[in-house]
Amino acid sequence: MRYILLFWAVPMGLFWGWFYLSYNDINFGLTFLSRPVHDFAFGFYGNLLGIDPQTIPPLVARACVVDTVVIFAIYAFRRRRDIIGWWNASRQPTVAPEAGQVPPAE
């Protein structure tokens, strides 16, 4: 499962890192982080798909959200016993010590 999370998190981080830096033209002297490359990439994909390039980022964001929900649903299903145990333990009332009593020091 950790490999699935790794293969999900690394591409997401790389893509959204590139998107943020190139969208805001924070390029650190690197061409692939520049705004013209950003516009070219989305223009290329827009022409390839036959849609307006401005509609591609919201579509990618929606796909990333769906992928994230699927990955974490699989993870939660695999860890359901641990999650149920944690949930039941957190729902148990805690007993406060009586007034005037102090727990022993260590």
Mean residue pLDDT across the chain: 88
Distance CA 72, CA 3 (A): 13
Reported as a pLDDT band with limits 50, 70 and 90, residue 4 is confident
Evaluate if pTM is beyond 0.85: no
Angle of helix 2-23 relative to helix 35-49, nearest 10 degrees, comes to 110
Contact residues for 38 (Cβ-Cβ < 8 A; gap 6+): 19, 22, 23, 25
Rounded mean pLDDT, 10-25: 93
Reported as a pLDDT band with limits 50, 70 and 90, residue 90 is confident
Confidence check: pLDDT of 72 > 70: yes
